[in-house]
Amino acid sequence: MRKLASSSLAMLPSPEMAAAAAAAGGLATALRGWWEEVNAAPAWQDGAFFSLSAAYALVSAVALVQLIRIQVRVPEFGWTTQKVFHLMNFIVNGLRAIVFGFHAHVFLFQTKVYTLVLLDLPGLLFFSTYTLLVLFWAEIYHQSKNLPTDKLRIVYMSVNGVIYVIQVCIWIYLGTNDNPLLEPVSKIFISVVSLLAILGFLIYGGRLFFMLRRLPFESNLKGRRKKLYEVGTVTSICFTCFLIRCIVVSVFDSSWHAHIYF
């Protein structure tokens, strides 16, 4: 009984532990209150949205400059995958900059489907842009292994075509029939699209990374390190972005989706 009583007393929180727990609880309450205050303040919201609009506009301008530089340097190659990637990067980031810049008007449409189109379209274009990068890497990998590359573009166009057709059908259905049962279907669809991008980056980003690591040491060591860093970094960032998007779309409610789709 004495041992049981002493062990029960040892399990009771000490004054220091109680003070630390109270401080942590007070900090969490303060942070929650700060976030609710910031989230409800129009000035903070405008500042955040306009900052994001400026950032996306800058990225869009950089993509346009890169496109022009490549076109001036090698105009004889026509519209290569790299040029199309920079063009799509310019379009998707420019569209995001416009939507963020006019965020106050996005939710004022009387027809809800117009708002959904503006929110969904940048995400779809983002998918098409960065799966185009996967296509570029897949072409490099197949060429290095003497594998055929003619079907890769067909697969890319087919996958993107099916995704856009499904999304357009969802928009049309929502425009004619506001069915709440379609919301979970839309969530699943966005999650599947993100998973497809994740698989693409894992398969071809990983293959290209390990292929570069296995190059002989007699090759250009500095150039190999640069390409290894580039492929590894881009693969990790894009994998993380699409994974977070997939999880957040699946977990959070529809009030968050307007921010997720960007």
Per-residue pLDDT, averaged over 45-71, amounts to 89
pLDDT in tens, 100-144: 888 777 777 777 777 778 878 888 888 899 889 888 888 888 888
119 and 185 fall within a common domain: yes
pLDDT in tens, 76-107: 777 888 888 899 999 999 998 988 888 777 77
CB proximity list for 133: less than 8 A, separation 6 or greater: 85, 234, 238
Task: Give the helix, strand, coil percentages of the chain, each rounded to 5.
Answer: 85, 0, 15
Q: Whole domain around residue 72: which residue ranges? A: 18-106
- Pair of tokens at residue 128: 């098409």
114 and 238 fall within a common domain: yes
Bigger pLDDT: 31 or 233?
A: 233
Q: Which of 42, 74, 106 is the last residue of a domain?
A: 106
What is the domain count for the chain? 2
Domain-embedded: residue 8:
no
What does each C-alpha distance from 191 to 9, 158, 214, 233 come to in angstroms? 50, 19, 34, 23
194 and 82 fall within a common domain: no
Q: Identify the pLDDT of residue 60.
A: 93
Average pLDDT score over the chain: 77
140 and 161 fall within a common domain: yes
